[in-house]
Amino acid sequence: MNDALVKKDLTHGAWIAYDAQFLAPDEADAALAALLEELAWEQRANVVFGKEVVQPRLSAWAGAIPYRFSGQTLEPRAPSPTLAALSERVVDAVGHAFNHVVINRYRDGSDWIARHADNERELGYRPLIAALSLGATRRFELYRKKGRRTERKRLTHGSLLVMGGSCQHTWRHALPKDPACTDERLNLTWRTLHGPPGWSRDPSDDPNRRERDDTPGSAEDS
């Protein structure tokens, strides 16, 4: 990883790394404006306990492989020019070959995302997730799945956060509501899909199976 990403160990092999100035202010401003214009924004519904619940945010995505979570499938979609350029920069900084990106658009502080983990089987074991923030500063929270430990971080305009190790198996993360926030924020999250929905390797090969204290498919569950 790039030296600018400052790593912090959590528990049980989980870690995060953060660069508050991954993009310069003018670069972040230009990226935000371009993505708002270029991307096809949708407000989708997740399936929660058998019922469809409209997401409290807008979303867009890009990737050559379909990605399925919470009862919905994101079909293959080519990246926009700005998204492709940002993807190259993130891959270079993290040193990891991502092949899918989801962009959540939080229109103001009333848009949010509940506690979840990006732990679908197609992401493999100990997936690496990179998240670029553009726009309003919002509070990001991580919760230990077993226990009461919580980590909080203010994600700023142009910052890059990486989650790795056992993070998706032993922690959950969320973006809570913020009534004081009146500005938009985009969160771009890069992942590596090893195959289409339902892909799985032999469970006996899973070196981290004892870490798994949550069922797959729980990402972005409301």
Could you report the per-residue pLDDT of 61-89, keeping only the tens digit for each?
999 999 998 778 999 999 999 999 999 99
More confident site: 10 or 46 = 10
Contact 59, 97 (CB under 8 A): no
The structural domains of the chain, ordered by start, are: 6-194 (2.60.120.590)
Residue type, 78: A
Task: Give the global pTM.
Answer: 0.90
Residue 16 is given by DSSP the state E
* The pLDDT of residue 191: 98
* The pLDDT of residue 192: 97
Task: Average the pLDDT over 145-174 and give the result.
Answer: 96
* The pLDDT of residue 94: 98
Residue 71 neighbours by CB distance under 10 Å: 16
Angstrom distance (rounded) from CA 79 to CA 210: 36
